[in-house]
Structure 1
Amino acid sequence: LDRFLKIDVEPNLATYVCALVASGRVGCLSLGKGLHGLMLKKATLFSLESGNALIDMYVKCEQLCDARRIFNELQKKDKVSWNSMISGLVQCKRSNEAIELFYLMQTSKGVKPDGHILTSVLSACANLGAVDYGRWVHEYIVSSGIEWDTHIGTAIVDMYAKCGYIETALEIFNGIRSKNVYTWNALLGGLAIHGHGHESLSCFEEMVKLGYKPNEVTFLAVLNACCHTGLVDEGR
């Protein structure tokens, strides 16, 4: 912060926004708070862009109360504001609050959810086992014509799989043209936690056969499946 204050040219709004983004990325709360304190002294430094940067910084530093306070103080919110706050709540295991905030977003005017926001909401539904709400989000994506990319597809598979709707998860999974390791992990994880050990191993073998490189999450899912179904030798 001292170096920031000693630069020859007086920092402008863009400088503060960049510094806040950097603070969030490295998780440096002290710097982020220091920048926020300096901004409070100059009303001209407050805008939607700087407000979003503050929310993002506090979320990444896991200071959700501060993030929510800034969010509530924003007179105008855009998709970035809503996405930062909703995704932050999901990441910090506060999925109920994330869904409540999404509901509040729907009742507000001017901002419609995009794929990033809906992916976070689907993750919240998966964490809570809220399949009915998750199904509504799925139907909303289809009816709204939102572009169906790998991230959204994976989130839908993850939601149905974790909620125990394996057949639906498989149907969605098979319809995704461009899969990645996270898509496979979503299906494997659902199979594992619901006791489908043999299916999980078959899925894993198919994944490797097709050239996808497993990661730590993949192996944990397969080992979990083996443990739940007594497949000790396979787990070894």
Structure 2
Amino acid sequence: MSKTSLKPYPAALVFGVPGAGKGTQGEILSRIPGFFHLSSGVIFRKLDAKSEEGRIVREYSARGELAPDEVTMRIFKNWLEGQRAAERFRPREHLLLLDGIPRNLAQCEMLKQICDVKLVIHLMCDDEEAMIDRIRRRAVLENRPDDASESVTRRRFEVYRQESLPVLNYYPKSLIKDIESTGIHSHVLLECLKHLVPVLLENFPRDEQGRRVKDYPLPPLPKTLDGWRAD
């Protein structure tokens, strides 16, 4: 966080197994005023492959493993501050939606210096094979070689169970909202909004222009959500 910030940014985690739809919901929600979606996967894929950070991230991703915590959090912090400097992320009116951050308990501790987690949206799916199939289909559509490898994908699920799942025990149970993610995207979206909107209104009653957040007009959403990503 920049030196001028007085306190951590209010944030909500969009959490779940690989393929649960974190990216899909985050991308849709980012079209609604008041929400700012930050996806570690999107950030990582935009890294220069020739840079040291890009090389490290790709090396670990190719094995289905998490990049080192210090590297991950440095990339996250620098990208977020870049978005703030460009005024795309506006701390006085945006609730951060964190997708893919934090991935383990060490990152939870490091995140405390940057973000104040107000809510955890837990996208649930008990059918691991269905998620693996969803990831395979996405790999073909979006040309993601790592996702096309079944061994790498299954390793990602192992890492999730070992390192990421304990994140749910880090935060108070009152902050965690379980949502079944295998339904149609629009239904999952409505369930997410049911929990996110009260947090948005509580933390951002008015934006920088003094407008009431609850009076924001909603932008048009896609007529169909079937083609959206499922991270």
- Higher helix residue share: 1
- With the length of structure 1 as denominator, give the TM-score of the two structures: 0.25
TM-score (norm 2): 0.25
- Flag the structure with higher strand content: 2
**Larger Rg, first or second structure (1 or 2):** 1
Q: Which has the higher contact order (CA 8 A, sep 6+)?
A: 2
